[in-house]
Structure 1
Amino acid sequence: MAASSSQSELILVVLGPDKAEERGAIRSTLGLEDNQQGTDVQDCSKHRGTAAGRRVEVVSSPAWYGSACSPEERTTHISSFIALSSPGPHAFLLCVPVNGRAHDESKALDALAKLFGPDAVSKNTIVLFTHTEELGEDETLEQYIITWRKDLQELVGRCGDRYHTLESCKAGGEEGKAVEELLEKVEQAVKESGSKHLSCPLYQEAEGRVRQRQMEIIRQRREEEPSDSQPEVTEEEMDAVREEAEKSVGDLDLDLGGIFPSGKQVSSSSASPSWLGGLWEKLVGWFRWLPSLVRIEALFGALVGLFVGGPMGGTVGATVGSVATEVNRRKTEKKN
């Protein structure tokens, strides 16, 4: 039996911290409107279209890592997106907001590697950065990552140094260029991996079930329309029922124990480092926007204010920062 014609399409699986991130990536890639994508955040879905002259399938899944769903729901969601992206995706697009910490995203890559093998991360994943409007006017995404975000550098490094954004250009033909560059990176990743698409036991199982279900659907339909002859099943018939078969595949044999969070409340002892980390990220973010002349002095003042604490800390920090800035300015004037 000939290979399915759908395999000539690029299959992309979009993984994001929430459904809004995924919808933005899908809309930018295929030019879809919101009303074409559905509204049920718990359902996986597939969208087909043509982007940059290429036929593309984009599969979106519920929140990949941080979702507090039950183990049963997670098994159903993951089984669904595997079936929809069978026989295997050409790339996973991991949506990562540049204005957040990369802690959960790193764990999301761990989960991806445990389920589909390490190649799924190192050879078949591209980091798709979102919220890049947070960057300064003259600051590129590359500059921001290299200068300020070691955590994002490590995340990108795990994915073979592949990253992209679809938000760099807001209008005109530039948006199409961003899409074209993304698909070129996908094709380059496929070429470097030496395989047509990601293949692993889970996807092999899913493809076997999908094709079995296709045959069952075709036989059922033939029984409803009796005929003296029973011609061989054609690939065109298989393609015609492919989508129905993918949606009707049951839960796969998944061992998710210890891979995903249980959804339980985080204890106060473990929350403190997260709080401090978030505070530090905000401080660094604020510090990054300051002119270079006053950055060190302002950071010094902010740290003093943080140490003192309370309303008084803010006043003291601001005063220290201002004095340090003025002293530095006068030193600079004397040198000149």
Structure 2
Amino acid sequence: MAAKNTLRITMLGKSGVGKSSLGNTILGSDVLTVRKFTKSQPSFCEARNGSINGRNVAVVDTPGFFCPESSEEELKQEILRSTTECAPGPHTFLLVFKIEKFTEQEEEIITKIEEYFSAEVFMFCVIVFTHGDQLSEDTRIETHISQNKRLSSLLEKCGGRCHVVDNKYWNQNQQDEYRNNQKQVEGLIQTIEEVVRQAGGGCYTTEMMQNWQRKQNQLRIRFLRSIIKYKKRFHESIGVILYKRMPDTDVN
């Protein structure tokens, strides 16, 4: 559990986008396990603490969406558990993507995040792209996003907050301030602190998640009840129709 004055960060994204490496880049050391997934290897949340320019930071790595070694329900429960890894909850969620084509699978991840945490979660989200070396020279991440309507829509949901890192090449780049992980991480921390200020010093709490899950369960129950009621009425109607079609028989 992170200390009260610690900046708490949870990373979300699909397998292979570089979440663990991003966490290590943020913390400045290789403390999170960078996994090469196999079907025999379970996937769990992992939390590590560090300090950035005197600011205590806790980073929670989560299993990747569409991770092959876990069922969808197992993944969901483990991802939801990430909020308790940094109780009372994360100050921000980093939505982690590679710089590549934004496909229907990425769209599905956004849908799942909203389904798991509610639409309110985007108030606490920052988009972070990895593999920044794939940006063409003199191109900034905002330009890359503007070329895709779905990405632009997501950025708007997240209050225009986005950053880019390169976990492999930008650590050595000291000449270009933009293509420099240290500068990007400093900017990311400033963005997260602004998210905290906008939330009145609050965070996305486990209570918010539980309330949302409770509402979702209530909606499912109502839906199932309506289906049962509909089926009952349908069968009753069929029974009436069949009865009316039965031939009259005279009993002499």
> Structure 1 length normalisation: TM-score?
0.54
Change (3 A) 1:17 1:75: closer
CA distance in 2, matches of 1:107, 1:71: 13
Superposed, which structure 2 residues align to 1:238-253 within 5 Å?
none
* Pair 1:37-2:33 in alignment: yes
Cα displacement (A) at 1:71: 4.3
Contact persistence 2:88–2:206 (CA under 8 A):
no
Cα displacement (A) at 1:67: 3.0
* Structure 1 counterpart of 2:93, one-letter code: F
Contact persistence 1:128–1:165 (CA under 8 A):
yes
Match of residue 138 from structure 1: 138
- Aligned residue for 1:8, secondary structure, equals coil
- Aligned residue for 2:18, secondary structure, equals helix
- Aligned residue for 2:171, secondary structure, equals coil
Cα displacement (A) at 1:37: 2.7
CA distance in 2, matches of 1:75, 1:175: 31
* Pair 1:101-2:99 in alignment: no
Which residue, 166, 181, 194 being the options, matches 1:188?
194
- Aligned residue for 1:191, secondary structure, equals helix
- Aligned residue for 1:57, secondary structure, equals strand
Superposed, which structure 2 residues align to 1:80-95 within 5 Å?
80-95=81-96
Change (3 A) 1:149 1:32: same
Match of residue 128 from structure 1: 128
Change (3 A) 1:71 1:254: farther
Change (3 A) 1:76 1:116: closer
Match of residue 71 from structure 2: 70
Query: Cα deviations across residues 11-66 of structure 1 (Å, max 9, x unaligned)?
Result: 100112115511121111001226x5374661211010012321000001101x33
Contact persistence 2:11–2:60 (CA under 8 A):
yes
Change (3 A) 1:89 1:157: same
Structure 1 ranges of 4+ moved more than 4 A: 38-41, 202-205, 252-256
Aligned residues: 206
Change (3 A) 1:60 1:67: same
Change (3 A) 1:75 1:117: closer
Unaligned runs of 5+ in 1: 206-251, 257-336
Match of residue 18 from structure 1: 15
Change (3 A) 1:158 1:73: same
Where is the helix percentage greater, Structure 1 or Structure 2? 1
Percent identical pairs in the alignment equals 24
Superposed, which structure 2 residues align to 1:1-336 within 5 Å?
6-19=3-16, 21-33=18-30, 37=33, 39=35, 42-63=43-64, 65-68=65-68, 69-121=70-122, 123-146=123-146, 148-167=147-166, 169-171=170-172, 172=174, 174-199=180-205, 201=207, 203=209
Change (3 A) 1:8 1:134: same
Change (3 A) 1:102 1:128: farther
Contact persistence 2:83–2:206 (CA under 8 A):
no
CA distance in 1, matches of 2:51, 2:155: 27
Cα displacement (A) at 1:99: 0.9
Query: Cα deviations across residues 147-185 of structure 1 (Å, max 9, x unaligned)?
Result: x22222122112111111123943248432211110110
Cα displacement (A) at 1:192: 1.4
- Aligned residue for 2:108, secondary structure, equals helix
Between 1:165-174 and 1:96-105, the stretch displaced more is 165-174
Contact persistence 1:97–1:130 (CA under 8 A):
yes
Match of residue 248 from structure 2: none
Unaligned runs of 5+ in 2: 36-40, 218-252
Change (3 A) 1:151 1:120: same
CA distance in 2, matches of 1:26, 1:254: 32
Cα displacement (A) at 1:202: 5.4
Contact persistence 1:66–1:104 (CA under 8 A):
no
* Structure 2 counterpart of 1:136, one-letter code: S
CA distance in 2, matches of 1:200, 1:83: 7
CA distance in 1, matches of 2:92, 2:170: 23
CA distance in 2, matches of 1:81, 1:5: 12
Query: Cα deviations across residues 213-262 of structure 1 (Å, max 9, x unaligned)?
Result: xxxxxxxxxxxxxxxxxxxxxxxxxxxxxxxxxxxxxxx98969xxxxxx
